[in-house]
Structure 1
Amino acid sequence: MELHLWFQYLGPVTQALLGGVLTWGLTALGAAMAFLGANPSRKLMDLMLGFAGGVMIAASFWSLLAPAIEISGELGMVEWLPPAVGFILGAVFLRLLDLVLPHLHPALKGAKPEGIRAHLMKTTLLVLAITLHNIPEGLAFGVAFGAAGLSPSATLSGAVALTLGIGLQNLPEGLAVAFPLRKAGFSRGKAFFFGQLSAVVEPLFAMLGAAAVEFVRVGLPYALSFAAGAMIYVVVEEVIPESQSEDNGDLATMGLILGFTCMMILDVALG
């Protein structure tokens, strides 16, 4: 209880930073499995990818879009308009990053490098792909922390639930980078380093998201739905295709259902 009160009195940017450190730490924990010689099967990887997709879909609605709709009404706006505009802009923003940032999806069968053509190592392209995935996640819980306290529809507990949900699905992400690198002949130390490196952007974008909404209350529904649109873009463009690229579609789908359910329970129970 005392810890909760202490956390409550921190500023939103500091809360977002601590949340980002947590999600980065869980990514690093997943990558640390490289030291144990972890060799997950493709079935397990697809199950974890599906779980991550389910968490992100649930978080996009329960923690971001639903509050955005409620806050629009509180501010006297057309309830559906700011969330719709923000959602589309978030997806467009990720699409532009996808076109510009060189990257390679690690688990997609027959994947080719995307983005601006660059003579980069496969390792770098793989890390950039996971980094692209983590940008909207950092923005999402950063915006949630920034919104907490500015509106009855956005709570600190909800922001914490969102952070925990994202952190939970970051565990397999670290492994998703570290394992292919180990398989490619990298040392355990290098595989771990690149695995955790992909989540460094989360604390940075979390602080950016929190700072942005802290100053402009009228922009809250746009910011929340922007993060939701960015996350859904990642799920549809990357996570689901990767989880379905082998013959484990049913397993990946059940993982998605499980992830959605876990995130929904977290958000309702804590938010």
Structure 2
Amino acid sequence: MDFAALNPITQAFLACLFTWGMTALGAALVFLTKDFSKKMLDVMLGFAAGVMIAASYWSLLAPAIDMSEHLGHWSFVPAAIGFMLGAVFLRVIDMYLPHLHLNAPMSEAEGVHTNWQRSTLLVIAITLHNIPEGLAVGVAFGAAASGLESASLAGAIALAIGIGIQNFPEGTAVSVPLRRDGMSRAKAFWYGQLSGMVEPVSAVIGAAAVYFARPILPYALAFAAGAMIFVSVEEVIPESQSSGNGDLATMGLMLGFTVMMTLDVALG
């Protein structure tokens, strides 16, 4: 199968099947151990945040600004508007959608009040991470199909690889705590990988949106970037720093940023 010859929507869907698979692979660690080093988990979460931050600039914001060069000194405007809209969108969802951050007690559940189980609220929280990630991959493949020099198929693939790598610890971050709480291995794995299912769906939406409406492309790229930065700063980074392993988590973030930057520059 010639991947490059496929429709960008199909490319985005297949790419996010990979990122979903990486989430499932991380969740599968629950079959190997009931517990997991908290230090290692915090490093992995920091790594995930680093990948998301680097991808937001190298794979999304920079191409968005390049695509708006015809605006001259105002080339930053579409990126700025899209970036803020992405953050506002996630903020609104965060306010109303019931969810629970990792390691938080039930009393700290966010969103509208509900009687949903802890496991459901945890999965929703991680799913919230994965919506902007799937959108980012989809928009990147849609942008590559636009023929613009600043967006390439190799860059979109690099982004998918980076998102896939950082999805591994996210799957682990859901399944292992659930197993620690007494849930069966199979059920903990199911919930862990479940959060990644939204990525292929959101990738198809993102790719289709920019493929059929090219003028929104720089806004869409920046929108995905703003959503990912919001998730990183509001949830992933605080979680990685909450257990006294701040220095290790920060080094994990630096490593994740470096890996994603390297992937994007080397492949994109």
| TM-score (norm: length of structure 2) | 0.97
Matched, 1:209 2:212: no
Determine what percentage of the aligned residue pairs are the same residue.
64
> For the structure 1 residues 103 and 25, does the alpha-carbon distance in structure 2 shift closer, same or farther, using more than 3 Å as the test?
same
In 1, Cα distance between equivalents of 2:38 and 2:154: 35
User: After the TM superposition, which segments of 4 or more aligned residues of structure 1 sit over 6 Å from their partners?
Assistant: none
Residue 43 of structure 1 aligns with which residue? 39
Greater alpha carbon shift after TM alignment, 169-178 vs 32-41? 32-41
The letter of the residue matching 2:160 is: T
Offset at 1:75?
6.8
5 Å-filtered alignment, 1:94-133, equals 94-108=90-104, 112-133=108-129
1:168 aligned onto 2:165: yes
CA distance in 2, matches of 1:118, 1:22: 33
SS of residue in 2 equivalent to 1:154? coil
Structure 1 pair 12–105 and aligned structure 2 pair: CA distance change class (3 A): same
* 1:66 and 2:71 correspond: no
Task: Work out whether residues 75 and 218 of structure 1, in 8 Å CA contact, stay in contact via their aligned partners in 2.
Answer: no
Aligned-residue offset at 1:78: 2.5
Partner Cα separation in structure 2 for residue 7 and residue 76 of structure 1: 35
The alignment partner of 1:117 has SS state of coil
Q: Distance in 2 between matches of 1:98 and 1:30?
A: 25
Structure 2 partner of 1:152: 149
Partner amino acid, structure 1, of 2:74: V
Give the secondary structure class of the aligned counterpart of 1:182. Answer: helix
Residue equivalent to 1:89: 85
Deviates more, 1:110-119 or 1:202-211: 110-119
Decide whether the 8 Å contact of 2:138 with 2:204 is kept in 1: yes
CA shift at 1:243, angstroms?
0.7
Normalised TM-score (structure 1): 0.96
1:236-258 CA distance string (max 9 Å, x none): 00011111111111001000000
> Does 1:267 pair with 2:264?
yes
Q: Does 1:229 find its partner at 2:210?
A: no
Aligned residues: 267
CA RMSD after TM alignment: 1.4
CA contact (8 A) 2:106 2:118 kept: no
Residue 185 of structure 1 is matched in structure 2 by: 182
